[in-house]
Amino acid sequence: MYVAVILILVAVGTVVFHFMSPWWWTPIASNWGFIDNTIIITFWITGVVFVAVILFTAYCVLRYRYQEGRRAEYEPENKKLEWWLTGLTGVGVAGMLIPGLFVWNQFVNVPAEAAEIEVVGQQWNWSFRYPGKDGVMGTSNVRLINDDNPFGLNPDDPNGRDDVLVDGDDLHLPLGAPVKVLLRSIDVLHDFYVPQFRAKMDMVPGLVTYFWLTPTRPGTFDILCFELCGIGHHAMRGSVVVEAKEDFEGWLGEQETFAQAMRRTGTDKALALRAQQ
């Protein structure tokens, strides 16, 4: 008796906890509300199955408790019932998978108008790069990285000269404009995640990975590293500021470009020298 009651309490308690829980996802700040919707669909479908299975189990425990001398029913198979259950499960699975893949299709197809930005990860901090006036990122190579060129940009690539480099400051993004976030790591795996954006991707040395989003809410949000990257993993934090386009542009104008950085460190002279020889 009490076993059945506890099973029922577990099922009911789980549902109550679900609806009463003060812990739920952070309010969204990007276009990926579709992801939240898919989660809601999944919750409903799986929640119904969970409750139904546990309650049915509790019912069986109650109704078919052991009685001396009683025999269990002997019915090894019931084709019809088994096919029905299989079919219904198939429908439920399709009900989750189809919307899921539909949204995934949007996730993998980056809109053509998305502006590119780059996030570079290393143990244990973030830096950011914008393509500059020409809208094109200059090429980069890990082998070119040194103290004067922390991004490893190719100094001979004209596209890179006007790239804006942000090292040790927040990431800024314009409100309402789609961005393709290019991700690069120079040492180990990292992962760029802003919980309010819902989208994340690992950063892999040797690869450029990406995802895209449109920020939909102004504010300052936390950036967290979401892939174990050594003892400083939990401290690899940053902030992203989402702001109106004008403010964003104002801020961007104040940042240093690669050309300016080369001038500051004297790298450009060395380059010019090399060109003369």
Partner 1 sequence: MVDAAHDQVDFVPPAEVEEMELYHPKSFLTKYVFSQDAKVIAIQYSFTAIAIGLVALVLSWMMRLQLGFPETFSFIEAEDYYQFITMHGMIMVIYLLTALFLGGFGNYLIPLMVGARDMVFPYVNMLSYWIYLAAVLILLASFFVPGGPTGAGWTLYPPQAILPGTPGAEGGIILMLVSLAFFIVGFTMGGLNYVVTVLQARTRGMTLMRMPLTIWGIFMATVLALLAFPALFVGAVMMTLDSLLGTSFFMPAIVHMGEQLSYGGGSPVLFQHLFWFFGHPEVYIVALPAFGIVSDLISVHARRHIFGYRLMVWAIVIIGGLSFIVWAHHMYVSGMNPWFGFFFATTTLIIAIPTAIKVYNWVLTLWRGNIQLTIPMLFALAFIVTFVNGGITGLFLGNVVVDVPLSDTMFVVAHFHMVMGVAPIMVVFGAIYHWYPKMTGRMMNVAMGQIHFWITFLGAYAIFLPLHYLGFLGVPRRYYEMTDTTFIPASAQDLNAFVTVIALVVGAAQLLFLFNIGWSLVNGKKSGPNPWRATTLEWQTAQTPPGHGNFGKELPVVHRWAYAFGLPDATEDYVPQNLPPDQLNSDYDNSKLSPDTPQAAE
Q: Which of 256, 266, 251, 103 is nearest to 174 (CA)?
A: 251
Reduced to 3 states, what is the DSSP secondary structure of residue 4?
helix
Query: What does the binding site for Cu ion look like in residue numbers (CB under 5 A)?
Result: 190, 225, 229, 233, 236
Q: Which does 276 bind (CB under 5 to 8 A by kind): partner 1, Cu ion, none?
A: none
Distances (CA, A) of 263 to 148, 149, 159, 193, 258: 10, 12, 17, 34, 9
Report the Cα 70 to chain-centroid distance in Å: 56
Note whether 244 binds partner 1 by CB under 8 A. no
Note whether 44 binds partner 1 by CB under 8 A. no
| Given 64, 250, 269, 271, the residue binding partner 1 (CB under 8 A) | 64
Note whether 189 binds partner 1 by CB under 8 A. yes
Q: Which does 253 bind (CB under 5 to 8 A by kind): Cu ion, partner 1, none?
A: none
Q: Which of 195, 187, 190, 188 is nearest to 223 (CA)?
A: 195
**For partner 1, which stretch binds (CB under 8 A), given 74-82, 157-165, 174-182, 254-262?**
74-82
Note whether 140 binds partner 1 by CB under 8 A. no
Residue in the block written with tokens 């990431």: 171
Q: Which of 46, 49, 43, 9 is nearest to 25 (CA)?
A: 43
Note whether 15 binds partner 1 by CB under 8 A. no
Helix 258-265 / helix 267-276 crossing angle, nearest 10 deg: 90
Note whether 165 binds partner 1 by CB under 8 A. no
Q: Kindly state the smallest distance separating residue 265's Cβ from partner 1, in Å.
A: 15
Q: Kindly state the smallest distance separating residue 54's Cβ from partner 1, in Å.
A: 6
